[in-house]
Amino acid sequence: MINIKENEKLSVLNHSCAHLLAHAVKKLYPHSLFWVGPVINEGFYYDIDLGDDVLNEEDLLKIENKMKDISKENIVIEKLVLSKEEALSMFKDDPYKIDLINNMEDGVITAYKQGSFIDLCRGPHVENTGILKYFKLLKTSGAYFKGDSKNKMLQRIYGICFDSEEALKEHMDFLEEAKKRDHKRLGKELDLFMFSDYGSGFPFWLPNGMILRRELENFWYEEHTKEGYEFIKTPIMLSKDLWEISGHWMNYKDNMYISNIDEKEYAIKPMNCPGGMLVYKNSLHSYKDFPIRVGELGLVHRHEASGALNGLFRVRTFTQDDAHIFMTESQIEDEVVRLISFVDRIYKVFNLEYSVELSTRPLEKYIGSIEIWDKAEKALASACKKAGKDYKINEGDGAFYGPKLDFHIMDSLGREWQCGTIQLDMNMPERFDLTYIDSDGSKKRPVMLHRVIFGAVERFVGILIEHYAGIFPLWLSPIQVNIIPVNNKYHLEYCNDLKNILLENNIRVKLDDRDEKLGYKMRESQTKKVSYTLIVGDKELNSGTISYREHNSEETINLSINDFVLLIKKEIYEKK
């Protein structure tokens, strides 16, 4: 999937197309006013005040056609250089532009003019509207002015522009495929999860989704046990005093759910880390204990804006696959190398490729000395090299308390998702006064790593649904085998025997004994994306065998019951 912002040519095209969109809207809706129209990774958008008019899909098509008309006029796009006073005068009837201008520093301001339409912009732009030929308006949504829910709701129109008809078609085909894989749609079709108006942003896990989630979590525990992790569970609600020590009360309070218990303020945890610090402080530690690896699948809550909620990708409660690793400074590099190898092993199971990004010290608002930061960044970079992993520098994007490695996975459609993180923390050990006894008997601060691999279980499930298009590998599949008798009167008893044999071998099986036609039940088995469908008739009954079809296959294969069980168990074990 292409990133428009990272492609200079496409970035200019899309920004120019945002102005073309605004020009067309102004012609069709003369009363319209415009806020901002930036380029984003997926194209561009424009936030527009249309008064009482509310756009629908037909309106988007009308706007798109007007854009094509303006494009055909080949209108020259001119750059205007203005003083602040000239800009204020030019846009005196537009409160949104006046707000923008008043928040600009004194000096030169630029605008771009195409025919009757003028808009503030830094540029650059294409030379004329005729260059903008291959575009598509994608959708519309609401967006608060300045992103503040206290302000007026504007209408946001999204679009995208390419430099050739082939590129646009390829992208639209990609969007169509992505739509088919939408985890919200598949989640409903496959009975994985649901949402309710009684709790916006709080997912309900249905039986099939619980199976998928349980398998994922069991896998997480098994792999972490191999890596020498111990596991904890910390309380979901803790006192305000703790969040003041951690710094969350000062920096994150607006995103926390707060309650009063015994006339004292408490908060539901938005992060697991402070609880992990208390567990560490529960006992004395020696340098001989290190590294200490402590994992927690911890449920957290964050008050996300309602407009940002998006299926499982952005929820208000989710489970972080957290781990906190405590060590000496000399152990950082080896531990990070081991972690990178661990992350690599996990992602390979899901056939997910990934890239690594090293985020370095912010220019402002960081704690610790530059010398310590340099040493920490060097340790992370060196660990990447030792692990044989290339990485990209993300300058100045580290947290205020330490640098980090971010793992961007790539799904089967080529989309990137930031999931795993290895974060070196120089803040929490100090805030919580964490210590260990060194070889000389003195007390010292441990070095600490935060890390996640899935990131959030809920979001990772959403990614996997779209990555696999709902056709999960057998070990994750909620229903691994579906048994369909040809005729209940003659074949149901044998089917029940088959079901019991599979259940005894820990194979997830469903018996479809509904009074429906065979073709209907087989089609539904395909729709529900069941891995193996068994069709049981006279031949199977008389020979004591089974006949199966794999999902999306027309081939029917006959096997002994024992051979089929071995086939299934081998595929589950190998996590193909």
Q: Which sequence positions are flagged as catalytic? A: 273, 302, 320, 322, 324, 404, 450
Closest C-alpha to 181, from 350, 414, 451, 530: 414
The CB density around residue 330, as the number of other CB atoms within 10 Å, is 11
Closest C-alpha to 549, from 573, 575, 522: 522
Query: Is there a contact between 478 and 190 (Cβ–Cβ < 8 Å)?
Result: yes
Tokens of 180: 């088919």
In sequence order, which residues have a C-beta less than 8 Å from that of residue 378 and are 6 or more positions away? Answer: none
Q: How far is CA 283 from CA 274, 289, 430, 439, in A?
A: 16, 12, 17, 18
Closest C-alpha to 295, from 309, 281, 275: 275
Q: How far apart are the first and last CA of the chain?
A: 25
What radius of gyration do the chain's Cα atoms show?
29
Cα separation, 13 vs 168, in Å, equals: 13
Q: Where are the alpha helices (DSSP H) in 387-517?
A: 428-431, 457-468, 488-504
Residue type, 488: N
DSSP 8-state symbol, 109: E
Residue type, 208: N
- Please give the helix or strand (H or E) that residue 321 lies within, else none: strand 317-327
Query: Is there a contact between 430 and 446 (Cβ–Cβ < 8 Å)?
Result: no
Cα separation, 142 vs 354, in Å, equals: 33
At 378, give phi and psi (nearest 5°): -65, -40
Q: How far is CA 43 from CA 257, 310, 404, 427, 472, in A?
A: 35, 19, 29, 38, 31
Query: Is there a contact between 112 and 77 (Cβ–Cβ < 8 Å)?
Result: yes
Residue type, 47: D
Cα separation, 314 vs 417, in Å, equals: 13
DSSP 8-state symbol, 228: T
- Identify the residue whose tokens are 């990708």: 313
Helix (H, G, I), strand (E, B) or coil at 528: coil
Q: How far is CA 322 from CA 35, 48, 330, in A?
A: 40, 41, 23
Task: Answer positive or negative: Cα dihedral of 376, 378, 379, 384.
Answer: positive
Helix (H, G, I), strand (E, B) or coil at 452: strand
- Please give the helix or strand (H or E) that residue 527 lies within, else none: helix 518-527
The CB density around residue 369, as the number of other CB atoms within 10 Å, is 10
According to DSSP, the residues that pair with 164 across neighbouring strands are: none
Residue type, 92: K
